A and B are shown apart, each in its own frame.
Chain A
Amino acid sequence: MKSNTLAIGFGILALVFIVVAALYGLGVLQILTSTTSGPHVKHAILFAVLAIASLIAANFTRERAV
């Protein structure tokens, strides 16, 4: 499915994931974590991977000039 709107959506999603990854990495975000203080490396890595996956999805869905 090729659509620039979808690609932009994935791009925005990637940005959100990057911000969430940074917040977990810095220890600012403590939602759904086993401890309530300090950085959460696993969560940060997960959201970084989700950001990369979203960027790949954006690249797959964008329309290309023939």
Chain B
Amino acid sequence: MTLAQALFMGLLQGATELFPVSSLGHSVIIPSLLHWKFKQSDPTFVPFLVLLHLGTAGALLVLYRVQWIAITRGFFTAAVRGRITTGPERLAMLLLTGTIPAGILGVFFETRIKSLFASPYVAAGFLVVNGVLLLGFEQLRRRAERRAALESKPRAEQEQSFSEAERISFVAAALIGACQALAFFPGISRSGVTIGGGLLAGLRHQEAARFSFLLATPVILAAGLVEVPQLFASGVPVVEYLVAAALSGGAAYASARFLLRYFRSGRLDPYGWYCAAAGLLSLGLLALNL
């Protein structure tokens, strides 16, 4: 992998990890469309991905630093006391509940599923599925808005009628966490399915995105930290990869800021249409081998 390719991949990973458009799908499809020949089985590729993910997790930690301090405090207070009394304590326990199914499914099945489906054709197909899922989540939300007689109200007012992350049930948190396993299929977006799950649980769009980002942080961080020893293997261009990771972190930070602002009144629809169109276009280009 050349330096320019590493930087491009860093930027792509950071920008697409938090957008509901599947970073894994893009990182499988785009190099294939560009006829880049680097092998994902190369021993330096895993350390590269590790650093990119650590960059993304670092960006999320910086973005939510104040909340993470409150959540960490809340976790220990509630765990020792055996009772939840504040919002951060409840959020800490909801995140733990959501992380457990994701962790179980990730540890036991992630590698198998990713290796089975790591083809650009499959990724493009799943990108179309991801688009349909996002559009479906929004259809269900619109139905909920109609049931609550909110369709004629302004968007900001519609959103205010829904809940915030601290108020969802523990069962909903576990289900949203389990939804993350769908993202092992390249083309299905982790943030897309968790934001969609949050919408089904009755969260506002912005709160669903916040819960999704908070839920992603421990999993991405832990998965990255476990692989850190691989960075010290011989032949790993650490400096180049660190620059790519910094780019990935910067792009992830900007993406998260944008999305949190966008979801004040925005919906998942544009991302759904984008995924469906990009998936179909990629399938066409791959089939024509252009």
A32 CB to nearest chain B CB (Å): 5
Q: How far is the CB of A26 from chain B (nearest CB, A)?
A: 16
A41→B83 contact, CB < 8 A = no
Per the 8 Å Cβ criterion, residues 99-127 of B in contact with A are 99-100, 103-104, 107-108, 111-112
Task: Tell me the chain A residues, 38-52 only, with Cβ under 8 Å from chain B.
Answer: 41-43, 45-46, 49-50
Q: Does A28 contact B (CB under 8 A)?
A: no
Report chain B residues within 8 Å CB of A34: 111-112
Taken together as a complex, chains A and B put the C-alpha atoms of A60 and B112 apart, in Å, by: 36
Q: Considering the complex, give the chain B residue whose CB is closest to the CB of A55.
A: B79
Q: Which chain A residues border B80 with CB–CB below 8 Å?
A: 59
Within 8 A of B (CB), among A16-59: 32, 34, 41-43, 45-46, 49-50, 53, 55-56, 59
A46–B79 contact, CB under 8 A? no
Interface bracket on B: 10 to 19
Structural contact, B100 and A50, CB atoms closer than 8 A:
yes
- A47's closest neighbor in chain B, by CB? B107
A46 in contact with B103 given A32-B108, A34-B111, A53-B96 (CB within 8 Å): yes
Q: Is B82 an interface position by the 8 A CB rule? A: yes
> Closest approach, in angstroms, between the C-beta of A8 and any C-beta of chain B?
15
Partner of A45, one of B100, B111, B226: B226
Interface of chain A, helix or strand or loop or mixed? helix
Shortest Cβ gap from A47 to chain B (Å):
9
Assuming the contacts A56-B79, A60-B82, A60-B83, asked whether A42 and B100 have C-beta atoms less than 8 A apart, the reply is no
A59 with B100, Cβ < 8 A, contacts A42-B107, A45-B226 known: no
| A42→B223 CA distance, assembly (Å) | 8
Determine the residue in chain A with the shortest Cβ distance to B100.
Answer: A53
Residues of B within 8 A of A64 (CB): 82
Q: Nearest A residue to B108 by beta-carbon distance?
A: A32
Q: Which chain B positions have C-beta within 8 A of A56?
A: 78-79, 93, 96
Complex Cα gap A42–B230 (Å): 14
Given contacts A53-B96, A53-B100, A60-B82, is CB(A46)–CB(B107) below 8 Å? Answer: yes
> Contact flags (1/0) for B210-245 with A, using CB distance below 8 Å?
000000000000110010000000000000000000
Q: Which residues of A contact B83 (CB under 8 A)?
A: 60
The smallest C-beta distance from B78 to any residue of chain A, in angstroms, reads: 8
Closest chain-B Cβ to A44's Cβ sits at a distance in Å of: 10
Whether A46 and B96, one on each chain, are in contact in the complex, defined by CB atoms closer than 8 angstroms, is: no
Q: B79: nearest residue on chain A (CB-CB)?
A: A56
Query: Is A62 a contact of B107 with CB atoms below 8 Å?
Result: no
- Name 18 extra pairs, CB < 8 A, besides A49-B103, A60-B83: A32-B108, A42-B107, A42-B223, A45-B222, A46-B103, A46-B104, A49-B99, A50-B100, A50-B104, A53-B96, A53-B100, A55-B79, A56-B78, A56-B93, A59-B79, A59-B80, A59-B82, A60-B82
17 cross-chain CB contacts under 8 A: A32-B108, A34-B112, A42-B107, A42-B223, A42-B226, A43-B107, A45-B226, A46-B103, A46-B104, A46-B107, A49-B103, A50-B100, A53-B96, A59-B80, A59-B82, A60-B83, A62-B82
